[in-house]
Structure 1
């Protein structure tokens, strides 16, 4: 589906900050920045996942839809997302992890992309060891996250890891809006393990 707005400047002309969307950040001295640029009501569950993975010691950036309906209008593709606060944070980030959701409703699954080939393998192994279904997708996949202009690849190392989590998987993470399942915590722990055990502060 084609985006309504080509970039953040255009979006901000028609959508109201703190009414239609909001930006939340946490900046720390850590080298890891966790993103949910389609958070809130755009790709539900991604904000909560990003915050949980980052915890208090790592940085995060959230762009969250707040509209009562039609939050899909706020979706700007990862290769065109140029909100200034995020661009500034990316300049300080050594490692970038971007959390997304995709529409698969029949299968609990995660598509692993981005240009950081080594860390993709670590995340894949950690998720599979925790009994989650996952695959590393090739560059020809629509959700591969391998475009050089994708925000996940705009940190200092110019390569990151992108997780596309299916709707069915995200739905299994929540008992209610504010109550998480054991699966949520196991998923978070697996992703954290993949980064922390392999040298990311």
Structure 2
């Protein structure tokens, strides 16, 4: 039996609904939700459940991998549906973290349940990944073995330190309840990017500046992920 996520007890909120019901929190002050649903629906959906100041850089990656330039929102090619939850505070955004297996946001679940493929974007410390503090790495997990293989292959080809995390006890993304695994086929992929890797993606790593200061590292990562999604979709044709 594969290990199940162990960090739920660290969360302040048991679910997104629990967080939304907290009268102390104000939407668009403490947090916000952003999504795009195309007509007709796209085969893939991109997710950033801990965007904004929670897991820094995942909002910008979500937009770009979904096909929207994070600064201008101009399409950069094929577009995908996307959803993100973002912490907007100047501090203590980690209190807004809801583990992906407990994500019950209505729009997130609608988008994922109607998709064939899903890609969840997350941030982790290098220490949590079992790596040296300076290591720029990405852990690739999730239940979709074909998409995981495409991501591993294309990210490695693009020069990224890429680790198959399917059996990682915490970061493997294998839980069936994980929002990325709630697709029609009950499988998706999850990426965990270490802090040093995400920091290298922006020349100025602040909330107002990140979307305007994306680096070659950022775009190399985005193009590899987009190519992996396109290859996975082609397998269904």
Asked if these proteins are the same fold (TM beyond 0.5), I'd say yes
Bigger Cα displacement from structure 2, 6-15 vs 182-191? 6-15
Decide whether the 8 Å contact of 2:150 with 2:231 is kept in 1.
no
Distance 1:133 1:157 in 2: 29
Could you state the TM-score of these two structures normalised by the residue count of structure 2? Answer: 0.81
Could you state the TM-score of these two structures normalised by the residue count of structure 1? Answer: 0.96
Q: How far off its partner does 1:13 sit? A: 2.4
Bigger Cα displacement from structure 2, 131-140 vs 121-130? 131-140
SS in 2 for 1:100: strand
1:64 aligns with 2:81: no
Distance 1:197 1:10 in 2: 37
1:92 aligns with 2:100: no
| Partner in structure 2 of residue 157 of structure 1 | 185
Distance 2:17 2:114 in 1: 22
The structure where strand makes up a greater share of residues is 1
Distance 1:110 1:140 in 2: 13
Q: Cα–Cα, structure 1 residues 13 and 199, in superposed 2: closer, same or farther, change >3 Å?
A: closer
Distance 1:166 1:102 in 2: 5
Q: Cα–Cα, structure 1 residues 123 and 140, in superposed 2: closer, same or farther, change >3 Å?
A: closer
Q: Cα–Cα, structure 1 residues 10 and 186, in superposed 2: closer, same or farther, change >3 Å?
A: same
CA RMSD after TM alignment: 1.4
Distance 2:233 2:29 in 1: 39
How many positions carry a matched residue from both structures? 201
Give every structure 1 segment of 4 or more consecutive aligned residues whose post-TM-superposition deviation is greater than 3 Å. Answer: none
